[in-house]
Chains A and B, each alone.
Chain A
């Protein structure tokens, strides 16, 4: 099975607006999920400019699905859904 790709924007805007808390998401995932997910900290994904600054911090799933106002709780919950093949 292909791994689920999670890109966390660590550009300075996202970082100031809350991405700092997303840095150690990997450690918060349940043990059995960790092998199925590839989490990457990225430099600015440019979403704060293209979408809306007020949506930062941004996280991108599998290269296309964008989550705005990302929090550790929401990102983890979405990862679990993707792992289980929901949505």
Chain B
């Protein structure tokens, strides 16, 4: 979905690729903020200078540097670029500072509007009516009418919203803090200065705040410059296209694969081939786990935001998580088996995949947006590409991993092959929200009415991931 903030992000990405390819990025990058907002242009924020400051942080994120890492505010984008291109001082370490530095999300302070705390307020639409349904509907006696208008006592209000639906004049509204409301684990909060801040010890990188913020203040830390430079150095990069790519671009999966090769990848594989292996192993694991009389269940492991949720917040579920590697990991192993020198680039719609990729040794992760920017910068139209010759397309059940219920259906189909008439008691959580952790706790305590639990952090599955295009 294109809106003002996705538009800017994509425009910047395309400009970055074009400048990189023109061999001009070092000179150009500090000029982009000014070019996009010249002094007499209309500003999106208070003035063009504020716009430029925000664009600078966005470009930093595209270079892979988070706003949180900034130590010298005067440091220019070209200085950051030099550091990155020269390998810089990015030695492997560990600990809290390191976790923050490798976190795939970042908040751009100057972009954050510091939304006022969520509350229910009566507006000037109130007519001070006689029936006063708001007063009568309030379970906490928090509403009084004074001076011909209703007023809500925020110390008593529990934000239940009953008055909102009771008012025939639509006079009562609820204000929200979109990032806080979207976060399933309370990991994003305003700090003492009123600016949103992510607690990386809690964050599961689901990307819900990234999608929710109307100011585009939550940014994704990109690896695109790393990919472009490796390509330029002539390294063998193999693109691994996630099954969610289906219908993200105009054209077919095979045409998209051809577009990747045209864009400079040495080779390209479908991650769905890895999903075939995940299906086989996960089914075998499931059947093995279910042996015996004891009441047990297994839950899926291919959604990295869900795996992060369990790892950071729901230790009681750890033993139920499938140990089968994700399709991305299998695809990576297949590529490395064929050529141990190949560098792998996972291309998908997911932010959390970046944290999984780092743990599992995948070299780079690009989003569909970033791949799109490379294709746009290099003037490659997917529709105009002749289909890439593939030995065989991946199985339909494997390509379907990107949709909610896809894993369940694949495991059921595989199990039925082994055990005719096999019955699977499956339950799906299609998209996680603030209520999900509590529900999962109940499931862990034995309240799951099933033995197979599929959880996808994004509603509808990966196809609706935070970095999806369509």
Q: Hey, what's the 0/1 contact readout for A10-28 against B, CB within 8 Å counting as 1?
A: 1111011110110100000
Contacts of A21 in B (CB 8 A): 2
Q: How far is the CB of B288 from chain A (nearest CB, A)?
A: 44
Q: Is the beta-carbon distance between A15 and B250 smaller than 8 angstroms?
A: yes
Q: Is the beta-carbon distance between B11 and A43 smaller than 8 angstroms?
A: no
Q: Is the beta-carbon distance between A10 and B11 smaller than 8 angstroms?
A: no
Q: Is the beta-carbon distance between A17 and B11 smaller than 8 angstroms?
A: yes
Q: Is the beta-carbon distance between B376 and A12 smaller than 8 angstroms?
A: yes
Q: Is the beta-carbon distance between B2 and A17 smaller than 8 angstroms?
A: yes
Q: Is the beta-carbon distance between A53 and B11 smaller than 8 angstroms?
A: yes
Q: How far is the CB of A55 from chain B (nearest CB, A)?
A: 10
Residue in chain A with minimal CB distance to B7? A17
Given known A10-B250, A12-B372, A12-B376, contact A17–B10 (CB-CB < 8 A): yes
How many A-B Cβ pairs are below 8 Å?
54
Q: Is the beta-carbon distance between A13 and B376 smaller than 8 angstroms?
A: yes
Q: Hey, what's the 0/1 contact readout for B35-72 against A, CB within 8 Å counting as 1?
A: 01000000000000000000000000000000000000
Contacts of B10 in A (CB 8 A): 16-17
Of the candidates B15, B249, B381, the one having the most CB atoms from chain A within 10 angstroms of its own CB is B381
Q: Is the beta-carbon distance between A20 and B470 smaller than 8 angstroms?
A: yes
Q: Hey, what's the 0/1 contact readout for B125-166 against A, CB within 8 Å counting as 1?
A: 000000000000000000000000000000000000000000
Number of interface residues of B (CB under 8 A): 22
Q: Is the beta-carbon distance between A20 and B372 smaller than 8 angstroms?
A: no
Contacts of A56 in B (CB 8 A): 11
Q: How far is the CB of B29 from chain A (nearest CB, A)?
A: 15
Contacts of B470 in A (CB 8 A): 20
Q: Is the beta-carbon distance between A15 and B372 smaller than 8 angstroms?
A: yes
Q: Is the beta-carbon distance between B382 and A12 smaller than 8 angstroms?
A: yes
Contacts of A15 in B (CB 8 A): 249-250, 372, 376, 469
Contacts of A80 in B (CB 8 A): none
How far does the alpha carbon of A4 sit from the alpha carbon of B7 in the complex, in Å?
Answer: 29
B375 within 8 A of A: yes
Q: How far is the CB of B382 from chain A (nearest CB, A)?
A: 7
Contacts of A17 in B (CB 8 A): 2, 7, 10-11
How far does the alpha carbon of A11 sit from the alpha carbon of B379 in the complex, in Å?
Answer: 8
Q: Is the beta-carbon distance between A54 and B36 smaller than 8 angstroms?
A: yes
From B36, B373, B379, give the contact of A16 (CB < 8 A).
B373
How far does the alpha carbon of A54 sit from the alpha carbon of B379 in the complex, in Å?
Answer: 16
A39 within 8 A of B: no
Q: How far is the CB of B218 from chain A (nearest CB, A)?
A: 20
Within 8 A of B (CB), among A32-54: 41, 43-44, 48, 53-54
Interface residues of A (CB under 8 A from B): 10-13, 15-18, 20-21, 23, 41, 43-44, 48, 53-54, 56
* 10 interchain pairs, CB-CB under 8 A: A10-B250, A10-B383, A11-B379, A12-B372, A12-B376, A17-B7, A18-B2, A20-B2, A23-B250, A53-B15
